[in-house]
Amino acid sequence: MQTVPEESSPVSNPPVAAPATVGGQQDSTAAHRPANSGGIWLWIRDLLISGFASVLIITFLYQPVRVEGTSMLPRLEDRDRLFINKFVYHISAIERGDVVVFHYPRDPEKSYIKRVIALPGDRLEIDHGVVWLNGVRQSENYVPDEYRDRRSMAEIIVPDGRYFMMGDHRSISSDSREFGAVERGLIYGKAVFVYWPARDAGVVR
């Protein structure tokens, strides 16, 4: 997404006031009063407000996390650092294709990052690595051919309040094919943007 800086309105320089005079002589106090002291304090105030706002945004909306492992290749590499949005699912629904962070069902102290493949009530089947959802074959362009596998899974109906997760690197991913669909309450963020390293920077899709 391209951002364009706001254009500045032209501002003319204000007229310079002549030094005050007392009894025909210049008031030396007025002549030597610092002209930019007020501007410095305004700059410091704006800096403090910006810093405080940044802390609030990171604390309540976004959280930096580090990827560990390669189950989400090719988009997310081991040790990539990214921001997750912790607030978005309070105002919008989880959708198929979202890359989410959740507490690992078998050990809530650990966190996993995977892609949402199926929603509650979906009919899901995997046939030699090909995902069928509600009777429709899924193209899954985010999974390169070299990362696909030949595993199969009998048809299931995803239970209410649960989401079926899979990694993009199918041949090595530990996901819902092993530990089952994930409860909604364990999902706490959506991956939105990789910020480091610079070569991987960009929106997570």
Mean pLDDT value across residues 160-168:
98
Q: What is the DSSP code (8-state) at residue 5?
A: P
Tens of pLDDT, residues 54-69: 676 666 688 999 999 9
Mean pLDDT value across residues 28-41:
59
Mean pLDDT value across residues 13-36:
44
Closest CA to 181 of 85, 90, 100, 74: 100
Residues with catalytic roles: 71, 114
| Residue 153 resides in a domain | yes
Q: What CATH number does the domain containing 70 carry?
A: 2.10.109.10
| Residue 25 resides in a domain | no
| Residue 121 resides in a domain | yes
Q: Are strands 182-183 and 162-166 parallel, antiparallel or unpaired?
A: antiparallel
Give Dmax (Cα) for the chain: 100
- Report if pTM > 0.85: no
Helix (H, G, I), strand (E, B) or coil at 136: strand
| Residue 52 resides in a domain | no
| Residue 11 resides in a domain | no
| Residue 42 resides in a domain | no
Residue pair 103/150 in contact by the 8 Å Cβ criterion: no
Residue pair 71/166 in contact by the 8 Å Cβ criterion: no
The more confident residue out of 59 and 16 is 59
Tens of pLDDT, residues 89-124: 999 999 999 999 999 999 999 999 999 999 999 999
Site of tokens 């990052």: 113
pLDDT, averaged across the chain: 84
Number of domains into which the chain is organized: 1
Q: What are residue 89's phi and psi, to 5 degrees?
A: -80, 0
